[in-house]
Copies of this chain bind each other. A is one copy, B any other.
């Protein structure tokens, strides 16, 4: 079979650090395995061009496509129509919104991801992002490295997480882990918004209260963290209209998918101080252009920007997990063994995951 992987270029870093498995250079550590099984393995970072990654020729003969959320190869309906041999798409990581899932259902292309591979990584990134926004870390660090010392300029916008109301939009594998990690912080209240309730025991263990109306949910939160997949129901969900229902001066963390937020509306809210800050590592376009508004936005007191490139799920620990998970998925496929049900987004001709918006 022909296996194609779209990964990001690691350049020197990947040559120096073999644990950077998710790079073109280190090929998810799959070459020896795939070639020993008689398969052909093509690895590239190219994903631009008229057919999303300009790989129509290669893709047309590909049986198995491996992509990542960090450097997403957008698998459109049009590209699928040309990829006549494509049977399986594997996301080395979590989040398969770069694949047209409805088209995959129609074409009987399976879509799998390594569901457990980075839930902890992202939950930790959420905790870090909440703390550094609430505690106003970035302006403080900027003073430290630039030779300044003016504590009042930092402290005037620094708070404790204790006593605040924190809510997660989405209480799935990541959102639930975020709630668990928030428990010892003595927040005033933990809230969640989701299309279904947590199991009673899990809800009780984290002491979280479900709010069923989205506007009511955001209006009660000092901190909102987004932990939901991107699909037709969540795209652009956090926009100017919804932001008006946020508490004035609330903090927003989004490590889920950039396109869940309207980029311009969020940047405007930070600049006006309506949001005290926004942090996250997901962008509506990746790599983000150099002039993306989320790079330069600042609140009126000079802080409130906690952005990073999309890397939270690609720590060296996570790379090991998603490389191993990808291999396991391929082994199951080649050996005709059942897949871990948690990894199957689209089975042969039907959705298997409730996390993505069915038609």
Contacts and interface: CB of A to CB of B under 8 A. Distances in A.
Interface in A174-211: 180-181, 183-186
Interface in A265-319: 281, 286-288, 290-291, 294-296, 305-312, 314-319
Interface in A133-189: 135, 137-138, 140-141, 143-156, 158-163, 180-181, 183-186
Given A135-B124, A145-B296, A152-B11, A309 B140 contact: yes
A109 B308 CA distance: 51
B156 A316 contact: yes
A9 interface: yes
A13 B143 CA distance: 15
User: Most chain-B CB neighbours within 10 Å: which of A127, A185, A311?
Assistant: A311
Contacts of A22: 155
A145 B295 contact: yes
Contacts of A288: 144, 149
A343 interface: no
A314 B155 contact: yes
A132 B132 contact: yes
Interface string A300-344: 000001111111101111110000000000000000000000000
Given A121-B160, A144-B308, A318-B160, A70 B131 contact: no
Given A141-B138, A184-B183, A162 B317 contact: yes
Interface residues of A, number: 76
A139 to B, nearest CB: 9
A65 to B, nearest CB: 20
Given A183-B184, A288-B149, A144 B295 contact: yes
A155 B20 contact: yes
A138 to B, nearest CB: 7
Interface string A21-41: 011000000000000000000
Nearest to A315: B158
Given A8-B151, A145-B295, A128 B125 contact: no
A310 B287 CA distance: 35
A155 B307 contact: no
A264 interface: no
B160 A311 contact: no
Contacts of A150: 11, 13, 309
A14 interface: yes
A311 B154 contact: yes
A354 interface: no
Contacts of A8: 151-152
A311 B158 contact: yes
A71 interface: yes
B159 A317 contact: yes
A287 to B, nearest CB: 4
6 contacts: A128-B128, A131-B131, A144-B307, A145-B295, A151-B309, A158-B316
